[in-house]
Amino acid sequence: MANEFKVKNGIKFPDNTIQTTAAAGSGTSSLVSGTAVNSTSGTTIDFTSIPSWVKRVTVMFSAVSTSGTSSLLVQIGDSGGIETTGYDSYALYAPSSGGFISSTSGYVLEPTGYLSGTIARYGMIVLANLTGNNWVASSNLYEGSGGVVAMAAGGKTLSAVLDRVRVTTVNGTDTFDGGTINILYEGGGVGGTLDSITDVSAPAPSNGQALVWNSTTSQWEAQTVSGGGGTGISWSKKTSNYTASSGDFLLTDTGSGSFTVTLPSSPTTGNFVVVADANDWKTNNLIIARNGSTIEGLSEDLYLNIKGIQVSIIFDGTTWEVFAFAAPSIDITNDTSTNTTQYLTMSRATSGALNGAYVSNSGLTFNPSTGTLSSTNYNSLSDKNLKKNIQPLEDYGFILDQLNPVKFQWKSNDKTGFGLIAQEVEKVLPEIVEDNDTYKTVSYQQLIPFLLACVKQQQKELEELKEIVNGNIN
Q: Are 175 and 67 in contact (CB under 8 A)?
A: yes
The answer for 254, left when phi > 0, alpha when psi is -120 to 50, beta otherwise, is: alpha
What confidence score (pLDDT) does residue 348 get? 74
- Could you tell me the residue ranges of all domains in the chain? 5-187, 229-325, 332-378, 392-474
297 three-class SS: coil
CA-wise closest residue to 279 among 301, 242, 309: 309
Q: Are 27 and 196 in contact (CB under 8 A)?
A: yes
**Bridge partners, residue 440, by sequence:** 435
Strands 372-375 and 364-367: antiparallel
End-to-end CA distance of the chain: 110
Domain covering 229-325 assigned CATH 2.60.120.640 in the classification: yes
Q: Give dist(CA 276, CA 253) in Å, integer.
A: 9
**Bridge partners, residue 53, by sequence:** none
Q: Give dist(CA 105, CA 108) in Å, integer.
A: 8
Q: Please count the helices (runs of H) and the strands (runs of E) in the chain.
A: 3, 36
User: pLDDT tens digits, the chain, 474 residues: what are they?
Assistant: 333 323 333 333 334 444 444 333 344 456 788 888 999 999 999 999 898 889 999 999 999 999 988 999 999 999 999 999 999 999 988 765 656 788 898 888 888 777 766 788 899 999 999 999 999 999 998 887 667 888 999 999 999 999 999 999 999 999 999 999 999 988 864 443 333 444 444 455 556 556 565 655 556 666 555 444 444 567 889 999 999 999 899 999 999 999 999 999 999 988 999 999 888 888 899 999 999 999 988 999 999 988 888 898 999 889 999 888 765 455 667 777 888 888 777 877 776 556 667 788 878 888 888 888 888 888 888 999 999 999 999 888 899 999 999 999 999 888 899 999 999 999 999 999 998 878 999 999 999 999 999 999 999 989 989 888 888 776
343 three-class SS: strand
**Bridge partners, residue 165, by sequence:** 47, 76
**Bridge partners, residue 140, by sequence:** 124, 151
Q: Are 294 and 319 in contact (CB under 8 A)?
A: yes
What confidence score (pLDDT) does residue 134 get? 95
Q: Give dist(CA 58, CA 50) in Å, integer.
A: 12
Q: Which long-range contacts (CB under 8 A, 24 or more apart) does 197-206 make?
A: 197/27, 198/53, 199/52, 199/53
264 three-class SS: coil
Q: Give dist(CA 387, CA 420) in Å, integer.
A: 27
The Cα-based distances of 268 to 54, 76, 265 in angstroms read 48, 57, 9
**Bridge partners, residue 156, by sequence:** 135
CA-wise closest residue to 57 among 165, 188, 159: 165
What confidence score (pLDDT) does residue 158 get? 95
- Return the sign of the alpha-carbon dihedral for residues 180, 186, 191, 197: negative
Q: Give dist(CA 46, CA 36) in Å, integer.
A: 11
Q: Give dist(CA 259, CA 159) in Å, integer.
A: 63
CA-wise closest residue to 198 among 6, 434, 443, 22: 22
Cis peptide before 95 (omega within 30 of 0): yes
Cis peptide before 449 (omega within 30 of 0): no
Burial code (b: 16+ CB inside 10 Å, e: under 16) for 201-213 equals eeeebeeebebeb
What confidence score (pLDDT) does residue 473 get? 72
Instruction: Count the Cβ atoms, other than its own, within 10 Å of residue 416.
Output: 8
Q: Give dist(CA 56, CA 284) in Å, integer.
A: 55
Q: Give dist(CA 142, CA 144) in Å, integer.
A: 6
- What's 200's DSSP letter? E
Q: Give dist(CA 302, CA 296) in Å, integer.
A: 9
What confidence score (pLDDT) does residue 223 get? 59
Q: Are 290 and 317 in contact (CB under 8 A)?
A: no
Q: Give dist(CA 113, CA 126) in Å, integer.
A: 23
